[in-house]
Chain A
Amino acid sequence: MLTGLTLTEARAGLEARKFSARELAQAHLDAIGRLNKQLNAYITVLPEQDVLAAADAADARYTKGEARLMDGLPVGVKDLFCTKGVKTTAASKMLANFVPPYESSVTARLLDAGSVFLGKTNLDEFAMGSANITSAFGSVLNPWKRQGDDAALVPGGSSGGSAAAVAAGLALAATGTDTGGSIRQPAAFCGIVGLKPTYGRCSRWGTIAFASSLDQAGPMTRSVADAGLMLEAMAGFDEKDSTSSNRPVPEFSKAVGKSVKGLRVGIPAEYRAPGMPEEIAKMWEQGIAWLREAGCEVVDVSLPHTKYGLATYYIIAPAECSSNLARYDGIRFGERKDAASLDGIYERTRAEGFGPEVRNRILMGTYVLSAGYYDAYYLKAQKVRTLIKRDFVQAFEQVDVLLTPTAPSAAFAHGENMDDPVQMYLNDIFTVPASMAGVPALSVPVGLDSKGLPLGLQIIGRHFDEETVLSVGGALEAAAGFAHKPTLHAEAGV
Chain B
Amino acid sequence: MSYVIEGKTGSWEIVVGLEVHAQVVSNSKLFSGASTTFGAEPNSQVSLVDAAFPGMLPVINKECVAQAVRTGLGLNARINLESRFDRKNYFYADLPQGYQISQFAHPIVGEGTIEIELANGETRKIGITRLHMEQDAGKLIHDQDPTKSMVDLNRAGVALMEIVSEPDIREPEEAGAYLRKLRQILRYLGTCDGNMEEGSMRADVNVSVRKAGEPFRTRCEIKNVNSIRFVMQAIEVEAARQVEIWENGGEVDQETRLFDAARGETRTMRSKEDAHDYRYFPDPDLLPLVIEQEWVDALKAALPELPDAKRARFQSEYGIPFYDAGVLVAEQAVADFYETVAKGRDGKLAVSWVTGDLFAALNRTGKTIETSPVNAEALGQMLDLIADGTINGKIAKEVFEDMVETGEGPEAIVEKKGLRQVTDTGVIDAAIESVMTKHADKVAEYRSGKDKLFGFFVGQVMKETKGKANPALVNGALKSKLDA
Contact = CB atoms under 8 A, between A and B. Distances in A.
Decide if A and B are genuine partners.
yes
Interface of A: 81-82, 88, 90, 95, 98, 100-102, 104, 204-209, 211-213, 239-243, 319-320, 322-323, 325-327, 329, 331-333, 342-343, 346, 366, 369-371, 374, 378
Interface in B107-166: 151
Given A333-B54, A371-B279, 19 more contacts: A81-B55, A82-B53, A100-B53, A204-B57, A205-B57, A212-B285, A239-B59, A242-B286, A320-B284, A323-B89, A323-B279, A326-B99, A331-B93, A332-B53, A333-B53, A346-B91, A369-B279, A374-B279, A374-B280
B55 A207 contact: yes
B56 A369 contact: no
Given A82-B55, A205-B56, A374 B281 contact: yes
Given A242-B59, A326-B89, A366 B54 contact: no
A148 to B, nearest CB: 44
Contacts of A95: 54
A384 to B, nearest CB: 16
A378 B281 contact: yes
A209 B54 contact: yes
Contacts of A371: 277, 279
A100 B286 contact: no
Contact of A240 (B52, B59, B277, B284): B59
Contacts of A81: 55
Nearest to A239: B59
Interface string B61-98: 00000000000000000000000000101011100111
Most buried by B among A325, A329, A370: A329
Given A101-B48, A243-B287, A326 B55 contact: no
Most buried by A among B91, B92, B281, B286: B281
A102 B53 contact: yes
Interface on chain B toward A: helix, strand, loop, or mixed SS?
Answer: loop
Contact of B54 (A98, A211, A213, A240): A98
Given A332-B51, A369-B281, A370-B277, A240 B99 contact: no
B52 A327 contact: yes
Contacts of A243: 284-287
Interface in B243-282: 277, 279-281
Contacts of B89: 322-323, 326, 369
Contacts of A378: 281
A90 B277 contact: no
B360 interface: no
B286 A327 contact: no
A213 B52 CA distance: 18
Contacts of B52: 327, 332
B199 interface: no
A211 B48 CA distance: 20
Contacts of B471: none
Contacts of B393: none
A242 B277 contact: no
Contacts of B60: 242
A173 to B, nearest CB: 21
Nearest to A342: B93
B58 interface: yes
A329 B98 CA distance: 8
B91 A329 contact: yes
Contacts of B96: 327, 331-332
